[in-house]
């Protein structure tokens, strides 16, 4: 899965925060950007995100409604796997990350490994 541009990330934040599908106008109204955006700009970004597989869209009358294809956590995990796969040495990358992790990140990893170890 390809990475996202700055505006694409903001659009995905809106979709991930939504409780249901959104139309272009609703995404536009919820975007927090330093300058006003055109409706067509947001429509183009959503179309690009659909083409990249980040969002699903369903016809609702004459418009589309958009939802994220997967949760923020699922998308993050997929990106992490892509980085590890492209590194050529996943073990070295993971070990480097573990050594450089913040105390909070280390706690998260420890809790996850403990939960995983408790399952058969």
CATH code at position 42: 1.10.10.10
Classify residue 1: in a domain, yes or no. no
Predicted structure pTM score: 0.80
User: Are 15 and 64 found together in one domain?
Assistant: yes
Claim to verify: residue 76 and residue 111 sit in the same structural domain: yes
Domain region containing 109 = 72-117
Q: Is the confidence at residue 79, as pLDDT, over 90?
A: no
Asked if pLDDT for residue 1 goes beyond 50, the answer is no
Cα angle 19, 23, 29; round to 5: 80
- Residue 118 has what pLDDT? 63
Q: Does one domain contain both 64 and 84? A: no
In order of 24, 52, 58, 59, 97, the CA distances from 62 in angstroms are 12, 23, 10, 7, 48
Please tell me the total count of domains within the chain.
Answer: 2
Instruction: Judge if 76 and 63 occupy the same domain.
Output: no
Determine, yes or no, domain membership for 15. yes
């Amino acid at each position: 899965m390809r990475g996202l541009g700055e505006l694409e990330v903001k659009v995905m934040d809106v979709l991930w925060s939504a409780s249901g599908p959104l139309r272009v106008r609703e995404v536009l109204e919820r975007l927090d950007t330093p300058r006003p955006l055109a409706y067509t700009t947001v429509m183009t970004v959503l179309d690009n995100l659909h083409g990249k597989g980040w969002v699903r869209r369903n016809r609702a009358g004459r418009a589309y409604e958009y939802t994220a294809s997967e949760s923020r956590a699922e998308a993050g995990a997929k990106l992490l796997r892509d980085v590890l796969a492209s590194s050529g040495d996943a073990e070295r990358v993971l070990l480097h990350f573990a050594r450089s992790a913040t105390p909070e990140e280390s706690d998260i990893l420890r809790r996850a490994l403990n939960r995983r170890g408790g399952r058969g």
